[in-house]
Amino acid sequence: MQRQSADRRFAVWLSDPSFAAVEIARGIGYGAVVLDIEHGSFDLADLERFIPFSKALGLEVLAKVLGPERGPIQQALDFGADTVVIPHVASAEHAEQVTAFAKFPPLGDRSFAGGRTTGYGGFTDAWVAEQDAHTRCLPMIEDAGALDDIAEILALDTVDGVFVGPSDLSLRRKRGAYSREEGDFADLKTVADAAAAAGKPWVLPAWSPEEKEFAVRHGADQLVLTMQHGALAAGFAAPFEQMAALTAAPPTDR
């Protein structure tokens, strides 16, 4: 497979630390990877190896951390993640508290740890400013309260944009399972419009053609185009279905 140029607008979603998966994705042309630490099988040892490996391939790393807490946020950044995606943000007040863990004082309340990000040495004021400017903090909009407070969340200095969680948002907005219906796209438009008004990016997991088209039309900064398990299922299913069709066909005389 000939290696293509990386396009950071397009990401792949991983649920476990598959080195082959990120190498394949990068070869195809994906420029970013979302690590689902919250629901996946990543542990700290995996992250310590997998984040720098992915970055060395030229992929931007978005770490969807275990929860809205100091430890998981700081660990992902200390391992070198470019972006922390923070799940289960309930409101603007909650966002102000937890996004502070991604930025150093006086902007936020991130704690310093000498390690990979400092070249295993000390640090300077310039390094702090560079970290705050170039490591992104994206609270997830997957709670009804977060959607209600979207403008206030985007106005926070510790927030660099937002990442939508459509499935949980549909459940918490009492629409039931996410079905890509009118109410779902109305919520996505609320997020897109608020992000545009704030001049900050928004990111969407866009599995379907309808979601992809919507995200492009409404200026999403990044689209997560496929998830690891779905891609495996589709890849396994295609040859199986081909053979099922062949074996089901009546024999022909030669």
Catalytic residues: 39
Residue 173 amino acid letter: R
Q: Which residues touch 218 (CB under 8 Å, ≥6 apart)?
A: 188, 189, 192, 193, 196
Residue matched to tokens 């997830």: 140
d(CA 241, CA 235) in angstroms, rounded, equals 11
d(CA 248, CA 201) in angstroms, rounded, equals 50
Residue-by-residue DSSP string for 159-197: ---EEE-HHHHHHHTT--S----HHHHHHHHHHHHHHHH
Name the token pair of 50.
């997998």
Show the beta-strand stretches assigned E in 191-245. 202-205, 222-227
